[in-house]
């Protein structure tokens, strides 16, 4: 077994990153509230969302979000062998090679922005909206270099067991967006948020992380070596992530692509709903995944696959507790959207649209949460190809359903397609993982899922009946009325949740709530 000191280090690092994720989600929510206040569900917000498509594709090609998975094992191996100077050489080679390639792609995309926007949002017809989207695309594009370089700077800090400065990156980035929108919005409209994206990426993801990397001993070399074996290894590990269509990436893209064919404000409404749903994903899936991945990687490296599967299955059972909380938000869909967004240009019609879309997006909350962890199972055994290939196939297979659902249900159909596609993807990857790893405990996860879904349906039916009848007299067109409705409904939900946990034998619910209560009371046990 690893020494206790290692668990303490991992535990401390996990707490830092979990706090960062939580604060990032909170600030990200304020970011969406600021966007809603300034733009509502106007064509300008649609253009702003479309402006991210080309930059996000470049970010995906550079695999900036996967550097902690692909680069850290390479760099850590040099540290473990006391060959740190050579580690900084491969760091420089990767930074120079991919940085130069990314800079060329950014320049090309800047020139070709009008044609590229027409390709990714072919349904846009209003010339003013198209021009706005092109202009904001060009503002956001350079930020992708800052994300990539900053990702490498953060990766070397992680490898040196320094987590605090990287944890600040998403917080400063979101604060930059909010500041840009609120300060520049009165003069530039939604373009103010675009300048906030660029400024936040420059300061939080690049400049601050460069300083943190230098504090960690960074040594930069102006050199290229396309034949370096670890550059080749890095490319082979990263290539599947570059070309694969992950769940979150494909959902973001399809919102803009299919949303461009729908009435004005559809893209904005889908995006607001997705951000609310991702709050639950961050609190359940991303937090658990971040905290558990170091243990999974260690167990995989020690060839203790049975123990890794036990950890995977146990974590998935806790993740599935997100389902009844998703049901709570479904019942409170109107209240949640009104409380969060209805101010400024975000009016009652925008609330009604977004609340309706939120219901369908919440269907896939557990899948988005579980996918974070299931994918990490593959990554822990250094297999990036398999989940990328099968995830991409699942996305491609779902496209006809997107088309059919959009034609039949409009924006709600796109939201439903996102959820069903995500469920299909994570189920496929988990089933295939179980077969490849002989995961004997997976049957318990399936039975647990059935119990949680049954309990959640029962909770949802009772909660909706209470919400419709007992609270019918409340004025849900006002902030105060919605707040009272949400608090009373949440109180009833808490009682129903505990009753269902006892009735269906879901011990994970009281255990999770008990741990939360102990932490809030300051009585949590010290790390073992």
Answer whether 270's CB lies under 8 Å from 360's CB. no
Q: Give me the residue label for tokens 């959820």.
A: 419
Q: Is 291 domain-assigned?
A: no
Q: Is 52 domain-assigned?
A: yes
Q: Is 418 domain-assigned?
A: no
Number of domains composing the chain: 1
Q: Is 340 domain-assigned?
A: no
Structure tokens at 247: 């769940």
Q: Is 6 domain-assigned?
A: no
Q: Which of 118-122, 246-250, 314-318 has the highest mean pLDDT?
A: 118-122
Confidence at residue 279, expressed as pLDDT on a 0 to 100 scale: 84
Structure tokens at 51: 């402006």
Confidence at residue 520, expressed as pLDDT on a 0 to 100 scale: 45
SS3 78: helix
Q: Is 62 domain-assigned?
A: yes
Confidence at residue 145, expressed as pLDDT on a 0 to 100 scale: 95
Q: Per-residue pLDDT for 439 more than 90?
A: no
User: Residues 399-430, buried b or exposed e (16+ Cβ, 10 A)?
Assistant: eeebeebbeeebbbbbbbbbbbbbbbbbbbbb
Q: Is 86 domain-assigned?
A: yes
| Nearest to 141, CA basis, from 93, 179, 104 | 104
Q: What is the pTM of this model?
A: 0.80
Q: Which pLDDT band holds residue 514 (cuts at 50, 70, 90)?
A: low
Q: Is 178 domain-assigned?
A: yes
Q: Per-residue pLDDT for 64 more than 70?
A: no
Q: Per-residue pLDDT for 326 more than 60?
A: yes
Domain housing 211: 16-243
Q: Which pLDDT band holds residue 526 (cuts at 50, 70, 90)?
A: very low
SS (H, E, C) 18-54: HHHHHHHHHHHHHHHHHHHHHHCCCHHHHHHHHCCHH
Mean pLDDT of 94-109: 94
Answer whether 357's CB lies under 8 Å from 409's CB. no
Q: Which DSSP helix (H) or strand (E) runs through 91?
A: helix 84-111
């Amino acid at each position: 077994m690893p020494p206790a000191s290692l668990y303490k280090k991992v535990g401390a690092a996990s707490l830092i990153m979990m706090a960062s994720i939580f604060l990032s989600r909170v600030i990200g929510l304020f970011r969406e509230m600021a966007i809603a206040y300034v733009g509502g569900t106007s064509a300008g917000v649609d253009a702003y969302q479309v402006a991210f498509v080309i930059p996000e594709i470049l970010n995906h090609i550079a695999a900036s979000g996967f550097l902690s998975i692909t680069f850290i094992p390479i760099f850590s191996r040099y540290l473990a062998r006391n060959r740190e100077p050579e580690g900084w050489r491969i760091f420089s080679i990767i930074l120079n090679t991919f940085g130069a390639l990314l800079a060329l792609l950014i320049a090309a995309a800047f020139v070709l922005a009008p044609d590229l926007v027409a390709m990714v949002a072919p349904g846009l017809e209003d010339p003013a909206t198209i021009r706005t989207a092109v202009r904001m695309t060009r503002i956001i594009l350079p930020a992708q270099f800052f994300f990539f370089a900053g990702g490498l700077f953060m990766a070397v800090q992680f490898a040196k067991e320094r987590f605090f400065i990287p944890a600040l990156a998403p917080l400063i980035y979101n604060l930059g967006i909010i500041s840009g929108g609120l300060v520049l919005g009165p003069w530039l409209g939604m373009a103010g948020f675009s300048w906030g994206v660029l400024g936040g990426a420059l300061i939080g993801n690049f400049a601050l992380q460069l300083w943190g990397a230098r504090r960690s001993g960074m040594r930069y070399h102006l050199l290229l070596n396309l034949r370096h074996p670890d550059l080749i290894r890095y490319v082979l590990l990263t290539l599947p992530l570059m070309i694969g269509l992950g769940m979150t990436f494909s959902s973001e893209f399809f919102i803009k692509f299919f949303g461009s064919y729908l009435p004005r404000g559809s893209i904005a409404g889908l995006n607001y709903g997705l951000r609310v749903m991702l709050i639950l994903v961050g609190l359940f899936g991303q937090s658990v995944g971040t905290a558990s991945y170091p243990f999974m990687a260690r167990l995989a490296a020690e060839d203790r696959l049975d123990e890794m599967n036990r950890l995977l299955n146990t974590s998935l059972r806790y993740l599935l507790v997100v389902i009844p909380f998703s049901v709570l938000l479904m019942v409170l869909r109107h209240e949640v959207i009104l409380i969060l967004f209805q101010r400024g240009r975000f009016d009652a019609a925008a609330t009604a649209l977004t609340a309706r879309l939120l219901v369908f997006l919440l269907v896939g909350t557990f899948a988005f949460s579980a996918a974070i962890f299931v994918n990490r199972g593959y990554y822990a055994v250094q297999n990036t190809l398999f989940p990328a290939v099968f995830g991409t196939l699942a996305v491609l297979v779902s496209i006809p359903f997107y088309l059919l659902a959009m034609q039949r249900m409009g924006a709600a159909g796109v939201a439903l397609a996102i959820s069903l596609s995500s469920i299909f993807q994570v189920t496929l990857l988990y089933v295939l993982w179980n077969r490849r790893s002989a995961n004997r405990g997976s049957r318990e996860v399936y039975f647990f899922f059935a119990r949680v879904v049954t309990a959640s349906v029962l909770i949802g039916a009772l909660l909706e009946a209470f919400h419709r009848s007992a609270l019918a007299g409340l004025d849900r067109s006002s902030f105060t009325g919605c707040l009272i409705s949400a608090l009373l409904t949440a109180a009833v939900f808490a009682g129903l949740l505990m009753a269902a946990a006892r009735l269906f034998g879901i011990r994970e619910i009281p255990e999770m709530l008990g741990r939360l209560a102990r932490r809030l009371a300051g009585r949590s046990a010290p790390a073992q």
